[in-house]
């Protein structure tokens, strides 16, 4: 059965001086402010589509890595993932150019090489990575705690 999730955004004003809000309908993501300045300058307590994309990727990747480690019979005690989306001007427009995934983990009985291999596989197999594939360069770093 397919799962559908919905988010809503409301925007007021022009691009440079305007502002808006975005939130999910599940109740898990409260309504937060967005603005062009939050995308290209200092966030000022607001978010951006790129930060939301990075959050989605970090959570998706952590689940994919946890599943992969479980299949290896080496479930993690803890995974800490950060995802950094780069939003940059390319030609006449703007684009998410890169996504950097960094994971540290406490995983009993695993070597650093095995952990990196599992993280690399997870970065290629998580659904958000799949949505970005061919459009955004994804890199992964992994270290054991």
pLDDT, tens only, 32-59: 999 999 999 888 899 999 999 999 999 9
Tokens of 23: 């939130």
Fold designation for 49-144:
GMP Synthetase; Chain A, domain 3 (3.30.300)
Write down how long the chain is: 145
Burial 8-18 (b: 16+ CB within 10 A, else e): eeeeeeeeeee
The string of pLDDT tens digits covering residues 59-89 is 999 999 999 999 999 999 999 999 999 999 9
pTM: 0.93
Tokens of 45: 């307590």
pLDDT of residue 1: 82
Residue closest to 9 by CA, chosen among 24, 17, 18: 24
pLDDT of residue 42: 87
The string of pLDDT tens digits covering residues 83-129 is 999 999 999 999 999 999 999 999 999 999 999 999 999 999 999 99
pLDDT of residue 28: 85
Mean pLDDT of all residues belonging to the chain: 94
Residue closest to 103 by CA, chosen among 130, 76, 125: 76
Residue closest to 40 by CA, chosen among 50, 54, 25, 26: 50
All structural domains of the chain with their residue ranges: 7-40, 49-144
CB atoms near residue 69 (< 10 Å) = 21
């Amino acid at each position: 059965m397919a799962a559908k999730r919905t988010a809503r955004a409301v925007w007021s004003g022009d691009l440079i001086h305007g502002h808006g809000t975005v939130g999910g309908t599940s109740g898990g993501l409260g309504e937060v402010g967005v603005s062009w300045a939050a995308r290209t300058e200092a966030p000022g307590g607001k978010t951006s589509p790129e930060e939301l994309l990075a959050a989605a990727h970090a959570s998706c990747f952590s689940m994919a890595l946890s599943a992969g480690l479980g299949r290896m019979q080496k479930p993690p005690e803890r995974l800490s993932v950060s995802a950094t989306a780069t939003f940059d001007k390319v030609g006449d427009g703007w684009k998410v150019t890169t996504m950097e995934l960094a994971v540290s983990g406490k995983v009993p009985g695993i070597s650093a090489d095995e952990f990196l291999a599992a993280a690399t596989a997870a970065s290629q197999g998580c659904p958000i990575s799949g949505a970005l594939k061919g459009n955004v360069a994804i890199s992964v770093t992994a270290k054991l705690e």
